[in-house]
Amino acid sequence: MTAFPTGDEHAEAAAEAAGVRVAELFELPAFEEVYRLFDDIWHSDPGNPPVTVEMMRALSHAGNYVAGAYQGDRLVGASVAFFGAPAGRVLHSHVTGASAGRGIGFALKLHQRAWALERGLDRITWTYDPLVRRNAHFNLVKLGARPEEYLPSFYGLMGDAINNGDESDRMLAVWRLSEPRVLAAVRGEPDRPRVPPGAVMALAERDGRPVTGHGDAPVVLVAVPPDIEALRRTDPDAARAWRHAVREVLGGLMGRGARVTGFTGEGHYIVER
């Protein structure tokens, strides 16, 4: 493994704040550690892990990105990414995971950003579940990324402990590495957009269930549940209702050209036509 490349003070500061050392990984024992960490996080079906040791070995050897975050000698986070299209401009982040601990994910993403910029790339993409509120907040508010495509059932049914058989709708998040919003975010200034006047609720929550409103205004708000992962365990019918409602409302709006411009503290996507 090699230490973090010098020259990015924001990434170094994020790692220091999280109490971790972030390093690029190259050797089989490190990839085996990453595999075990991801298994502890997701408890995936043994036949369908997020990434295998062999794949990490191949990606790293071909010049792609595999990195880990360490507290002392203990691996507490990791990220795997590969070059995407258009060639020479995009890094696609396939999987990033961290054990409990504040700031580890942020430190990993800033390390990944510095690695991409060092290679002349201008954006990083990844997918995430649009129903997971904390992930939407992290991606849009903490990092300043923006969802640019809604992908219904992207991976099919997911059988791991977190997704619990749910369909795998995903958002394609795009992190444009040198945009002013992103530059502010990496300095520790989260992107907290104001809700434009006249915004209406296109999807709201009532008694734990989604309620469709009016989606024909210039600016609409689309709610997501407070904790979809808990809801999958305690009320699978409600979880499915949320999945289909968000797919229909948010996915429909984006499919017709609307843009997601932010995420509120109350758990609403801000969508503008």
**pLDDT value at residue 7:** 36
* Contact indicator for 224, 133 with CB cutoff of 8 Å: yes
Q: Average pLDDT over the chain, rounded to whole?
A: 92
**pLDDT value at residue 204:** 97
**pLDDT value at residue 100:** 74
Copy the structure tokens of residue 18.
């999280």
What percent of the chain is predicted at pLDDT more than 90? 84
Domains of the chain: 2-186 (3.40.630.30), 200-272 (no CATH)
pLDDT of 245 strictly over 90: yes
* Contact indicator for 57, 31 with CB cutoff of 8 Å: yes
**pLDDT value at residue 159:** 53
Instruction: Find the mean pLDDT for residues 51-65.
Output: 98
Strands (E), the chain: 2-3, 21-24, 65-71, 74-84, 90-98, 123-128, 146-151, 170-176, 200-206, 209-212, 219-223, 259-263, 268-272
Tens digit of each residue's pLDDT (9 = 90 or more) over 1-18: 544 333 388 999 999 999
Tell me the pTM.
0.91
